[in-house]
Amino acid sequence: MDIYGRKLPIIIIIVLIGILAFQVMSNENNRPMIDSETCELYIKDSQFNGKKYLGEYDSKCLDFKNLNK
């Protein structure tokens, strides 16, 4: 396969886009989310289809809740 050919750059671009799409889809479930009532961070656990709390709180959410009181 010639380095300066037309097919090699197209194949490389398609492979890189595929890797990027796979990473975005696999990281979607692992990012922390915020519980709206308690402002505690959690992730969705796919094993038992529930929330796994991390024991950390979002400071912006807590500040916003304190302003509303």
Shared domain check, 40 and 7 = no
Shared domain check, 41 and 22 = no
What is the residue range of 40's domain?
31-69
Shared domain check, 35 and 66 = yes
pLDDT by residue for the chain (69 residues), tens digit each? 566 778 888 899 999 999 999 988 776 666 788 888 888 898 887 777 788 888 888 888 888 877 766
Shared domain check, 35 and 60 = yes
Does an H or E element contain 56, and which?
strand 50-57
Shared domain check, 64 and 35 = yes
Number of domains present in the structure of the chain: 2
Shared domain check, 35 and 24 = no
Residues making up the chain, counted from first to last: 69
